[in-house]
Amino acid sequence: MGRVQPRIAFDPTPSKLKSIARKNSNSKTSDERLNDRRIIVGLTGGIACYKIANVVSALAQAGAEVTVAMTHGATQFIAPLTFQALSGRPVYTSQWEHIESSDPQHINLARSADLMLIAPCTMDMLAKLAQGRADDVVSLIASAVDLKRQPTLVAPSMNEVMWKQRSTQRNLEQLEKDGFEIIPPGVGWQACRTEGVGRLAEPQDILAAVKAALSKRH
């Protein structure tokens, strides 16, 4: 949540990655809402990053082409290699990193997406998106997504006090006015050793929201 100081790494061994894949294999079905869809998943710095490993795995197994982008803070919680292994594609970790040499600002990547998901989305990223800032790879890609044509889902994740701040609620209202779709956070145990609203929605709820958004616009 917020800015990261110590690194709390989540670097699954090959056996753990296989376990994640097996966990989703039982639900692997042909879903035309996801098959051949191009989905960008942007992660920001929070302990809930570990949940998105299941989301990316499930999307890839359903036939989606998943491209992952991570802020520096996100890489302190979970290694980019995890998502490269699960998606089978390179992971973007910097706006200065040109995986597509002919697209230095990642415009083509954003333009070609059927949907963008930002999860977990910190209080800081909510503010960036509401203000139109683009100073990291996730917000940069988001700035080039056409909200009228491409669903962009935001799944907030933060401490309860941060969630209830007036600034957070203002930013959420602004994002909804701008055309972003908000996946509400859950209630429960948080990394700060308290219980309350603000924890990232569960993977199955995020996947359901992605499918619903694609069904509405495609």
Which residues are designated catalytic? 192
Give the residue among 82, 61, 87, 88 at the shortest CA–CA distance from 14: 82
d(CA 139, CA 14): 31
Task: Please give the order of strands across the beta sheet that includes 91-92.
Answer: 91-92, 65-70, 38-43, 115-121, 152-156, 181-182
